[in-house]
Structure formats: C-alpha cells, structure tokens
Amino acid sequence: MKKIIMAIIAAIGSIMMMTSCNYLDVSDYFEDTLNIDSVFYTKVNLEKYLWGAAALFPDESNIFRNSYYPAILGSDEGFSMWEDDYAPQKFPIDEVTADNLRSMNIWTPMYQIIRKANTIFARIDECKELTAQDKREITGYAHFMRGYAYYFLLLNYGPILIAGDEVYETSLAPEAYQKYRSTYDESVEYICNELETAATYIPPVVPINTFGRPTKGAAYGLIARLRVYAASPLYNGGQAAKTYFSNFVRQGDGVHYISQTYDEKKWAVAAAACKRVMDMNYTLHTVEARDDTPKLPEGIVYDPDYYKPWPQGAGNIDPYRSYAEMFNGETLGFKNTEFVFGKNSGEISYATLLSFPAQFGGWNGFCVPQKIIDNYKMIDGNDINHSSALYPYRENGFTTTDQTFSGYILKPNVNFMYTNREARFYASIGFSGCLWPMNSTTENGKFMQQAFYSVDGNSGSSAATQGDKRNYPITGYVLKKYIHPDDAWSGANAAVLNKSFPIVRYADILLMYAECLNNLTQSHTVSIGENEPQTFSRDFEEIKKAFNQVRYRSGLPGLKPEELNTPDAFFEALKTERMIEFLHEGLRYYDVRRWGIVKEEEAAPIMGMDTEKTERSGYYNRVICNYKTVRNRVFKDKMILLPIDRQEIKRVLTLDQNPGWEN
C-alpha cells in the first residue's frame, strides 16, 4: 500500500501543534477574547467555539513524556533515566504534591470545557443559522465533551464535582461555588447518561477527513470502560475499597464517596455495556497469512478450535503483522476496524525517537522492565517457566543464522531467551541483538543494523551519545511497538510514518466482557441504554469466545481448561493478557488500581539485564536496576488517586481532598 510518511524536519517542527485531539483545527478555534454573544451569531462561530472547547482536552496519546496522568512512567511497565519533560516519574517516587502536580493537573481545563458545553446548551437556540440536523449534532458533541471531561476527572481524581447545567460567572462571590463532590457511583451514572445522550445525536461513523471525532461507538466504548471500572474491587465494595477508602466520607453528610458494599449486578451491567459494542461492526485487526507467515505451532491438543480459520481459530492470518501493523503506521487509523475510538498522533510518531538507538539518531532510553519481557509467552502458549520440548525456553546460547518470519528477521548473535516467543513480543520489544531495519534511509551503515545494549555493545552505556550518557536502556529493553520497519531518524531520506493511537480498542471490549462474566456467581437480567434486557452469567463458552479471539489474533492457543476452572484462575490469565496486549497504551496504571493489586505489583523491584556487563560475560543475568528514577520507587496508599490542586481546595471549601493528600 502507499505509505504516508512524515519527514523528520516536519515532525520536529510541527510536533507541538499536534498535541490536541486531532479532530480539532487548533489554529482556527474561537478566541474567547471575542464577545461571547458573537459566538451565537453564526454557525461558523458556534462550531469554532465548540471545537475550541475540545482543544482543551489532554492528548490521550501523550503517555510517554509530560502526560496528563502518571501513565507509563507511573506504572511498572516503563521508565526512563531522563527527568526533564518526564514529570510523571515523580509520582512513584513520592515527589508529587497537592501544591505541585507537575504535568498532571487537568482539573481547571476540564471544568473550562464543561462551562463551555453548558454555555452551548443555554444559548444554542440563539443561533438562527442552524438547521435541525446542525443543532442535533452540535448538541450531541457538546454532551460528549461534557461527559468526556468528567471522564478524565473521574479516572484521575475519583468522585467528581458535578456542575450541572450552570454557567458560573467568574465574577461571583466564592460562596457561589460551594458544592460537594458526588459519590463515585453518582459520578459514573452522570457521565454515562451524558455519553448515552451524546450517542443519540452523533453519527456512527465520520468521514475520513474528520477521523478522530467521537462517534456513537466511541461513546458506547467509554461507557463500557466506566461500567467495568465501577464494578471492579476498588470502587465496588471490595477489599481494596475498604483498604483505601474506608474513611473517605463527604463532609456534608458523612456518606462514603466509594461504596463499601459489594454489588455483583454492576458486573452484569458492565457486561451489557461491552456486549452492546460487540454487537456493532467492530472487529479485531487482522492481516491475511502470506507465504512467509510461519505455520502455527504443533502439538496443541487442549484447544480443538486453535487450528481453525480465523475468527473461529488462529488459522489463515499472520499474527505478527496483525498486531504490529495496527500500531506502527502501516494500517491507517481511519481504516482500522478495531479502533472503537482512536486518533492520529504526532506525539506517538515523535515518541519513537525515545527508543531508537542513539547512533541512529534516537535517544535510546525509554526502558521496558524485565517483568514485562518474562510475561510474554512462548509461541505455543506456554509461559517461560513451563515451556515445552518442541518450543523450549533457554537462556544459554545464541542464534547462528538468520530466522525470518512475516518479514521480521531474527539475526545471529541473539540470545536463545528471545527465540520461540509469541508474535506480540517481536512486534513490541527491542532487545539486545534486535534488528533495526530503518528502510527509509538510503545511507550506508544507517539501515539493517543490530543494536546491542551490553556495556561493550553499540547501543550500551559506553556508546551513549547525543550529549547525554543516559541515552541507553538500563534494563536492556526498549519499546518497538509503534516503530515501522521503514522508520528512521538519521541518514539520507530518513522518515517516520504517521501513527494513530487507540483510545478504546475492540480487544479491550472483548477482554472486559470476559472479565465481567467471570465475576458473576449467578444470572442477572439487565439492560443498558435503550437496549432490551439481557441475561448474563458466568458462561464458560462466552468467556472463551471473547478471550480467545485476542489470543488467536496473536497466534496463541486459547484458554487452557485449568485457566477456566475458577474465577481466580481466569483472573490470573486475564492479568497477563491485558499486560501484554495493551503494553504502553496507558491502561495498566488504571488496571492495577481498579483490581486492588497495585501495592503488590509496585512492591516488586524493577529488574533488567545486567547492562554493565559485556554481551558474552554476565549481561544476560537479571539484576535490580540501580538508578534513582526506579530504585526510590514507593507506593503509598494516597497514590491510589491523584491529589486535587490545593488551590482548588482552598477556593471551594466544601471540596474534600483525596485521602492522604494535603488539604
């Protein structure tokens, strides 16, 4: 296919212009310095005002640097040794306060969006140029924006302060702003109602040139995620709710902000929300098998469907390309049927620089921990500690010849620990000896190069360049998930493909649906939105059908019988699947919290290869990373949520601070 590429100079020059939602023309939005009355004189002005409000949203794809929430750097799935412009790393070392949230203070801009949406609702009838369809669409988008703003607040700060339809004037006395936060459950209901309303107005699809604008599916996808989070232990009376929120009560009436009573029915409602999206036209992204697609591994007897053609099994598709091309720019975002809600992203294109070897123009220092590496399965679905004789896991020895599959080349001098691994491993991880094709450059010595991260390697600590000795991965691993074989940051004609970013993926919907069913101990009949009531239970076949689609797409067999024996056994499989499938998409930070396992997950030290040893003498030993951005990591109970800016607490005296943070 014809590739759309972004030249290096253009990428650097324009990157700061591309950090907002891509469906906005941020150079053309309405200037609030104009008289607000003029907004409603014309349709053009009103639309500029609408999309100008949306320009205040944080960039969902900015998950690697100064992101709006702790994201990758605040979880156990990635870190860097750089500190400037990587403020979220301050969160897990307890250097974020209510007086200094670093880059993670989105409280004010979200309420600015809400105020603008309320202004539209209050005055839209003044715009006489609008047709009935115009009015419906603008109203729908305004409801989506208001709901989406509250969504961001809820995920990061917990229970929200609902402004209702009020348009508060900035000149009002302080007492006019005195309102209490709603409970978590009340917040979820309000946001879901906003998104349900939006879904009745906004279209199911948008034109190619407006890819990134929210659709009906986007609204439904966000509702599904919210319903799953609300059903999870942290927010649904589980032990985590009691551990972190037993004393978190509203000052006005003493009501618990977070329910201390478990309600299983919430899982059924969440299942209904997921099923509604599943009944739409979304599918997992797949690429048909080609001549160089490897055969599926032999000897799988526990899953009789495994060898069937896709989607009943893993046959007839190319697992590596199916996963890799969804992220690396090969498949254009607007063509990707897996994107329930997605966007084009200059930030992701730029972020590939963080992983590229320094001698090839990159910064070479965004690290992936060993914990992630060890959770990738072998090609036949076994974990590394229980590998089979046919596809063994070994740590002694190196490859001696090229191994090629699906266009991917595993070169000689690669440790055996990186052989026989599942397709997502090769699509996502850069390891010592990994090949960097960099096909867009024509300069000799700048393409088809291996990177070695040992102390004597061409990309290790001794070779760190670009004026910064931190430009190497101290764990021995970098992220390649968003990097295309053509991408290059140095050499003649070097270019980087445009990227898109998934805000909600269909794979997430499938795995959340399976999670919901797994948590049911009895049948529940529920409805969602305008849908007819449906009955949900812990149906093994339904769980397998949803979960196995994700496994099959990656070329792996489906669930083993023992993984379905008990809810706990399935949960263990789910935890690993979500860690790997959604690596560096910004979901794990929320997952480990909502499940109530963040304390134990964060307690494990960050490990990696021994990058201060040579390639053939000690490098391939697991060691604790001894650098200040990781060795000083802690988890305190207050870190379950971000703090609200102390200035907001002082201004709104009825606004309760989150537990453990300064008032």
Model confidence pLDDT, tens digit, residues 519-570 = 999 999 999 998 999 999 999 999 999 999 999 999 999 999 999 999 999 9
Question: Is residue 169 one of the residues assigned to a domain?
Answer: no
Question: Is residue 145 one of the residues assigned to a domain?
Answer: no
- Find the range with the poorest average confidence among 285-294, 461-470, 530-539: 461-470
State yes or no: pLDDT of 180 exceeds 80. yes
Backbone angles phi, psi at 91, to 5 degrees: -65, -55
Burial level of 530, CB count in 10 A (0-12/13-18/19+)?
exposed
- State residue 190's pLDDT score: 99
**Cα end-to-end distance, the chain, whole Å:** 56
Q: Percentage of the chain surpassing pLDDT 70?
A: 93
State yes or no: pLDDT of 290 exceeds 60. yes
Residue 491 in contact with residue 442, Cβ under 8 Å? Answer: yes
CA distances from 488 to 141, 312, 349, 497, 537 (A): 38, 38, 11, 9, 50
- State residue 176's pLDDT score: 58
Residue 150 in contact with residue 160, Cβ under 8 Å? Answer: yes
Question: Is residue 171 one of the residues assigned to a domain?
Answer: no
Find the DSSP H helices in 300-422.
319-324, 346-351, 370-375
pLDDT per position as a tens digit, 136-165: 999 999 999 999 999 999 999 999 999 999
- Find the range with the poorest average confidence among 283-287, 336-340, 464-468, 474-478: 464-468
Backbone angles phi, psi at 451, to 5 degrees: -115, 130
Question: Is residue 71 one of the residues assigned to a domain?
Answer: no
pLDDT per position as a tens digit, 408-422: 999 999 999 999 999
Question: Is residue 591 one of the residues assigned to a domain?
Answer: no
pLDDT per position as a tens digit, 302-333: 999 999 999 999 999 999 999 999 999 999 99
- State residue 93's pLDDT score: 94
- State residue 95's pLDDT score: 95
Question: Is residue 53 one of the residues assigned to a domain?
Answer: no
Domain that holds residue 467: 323-500
Output the six-digit token pair for 223: 């509702």
Degrees (nearest 5) of the Cα angle 320, 60, 585? 30
Q: Please provide the size of the chain in residues.
A: 663
Burial level of 478, CB count in 10 A (0-12/13-18/19+)?
buried
Question: Is residue 436 one of the residues assigned to a domain?
Answer: yes
Q: What's the domain count of the chain?
A: 1
Residue 158 in contact with residue 656, Cβ under 8 Å? Answer: no
Largest Cα–Cα separation, the chain: 76
| Alpha carbon distance 310, 661 (integer Å) | 50
State yes or no: pLDDT of 443 exceeds 60. yes
- State residue 342's pLDDT score: 98
Question: Is residue 272 one of the residues assigned to a domain?
Answer: no
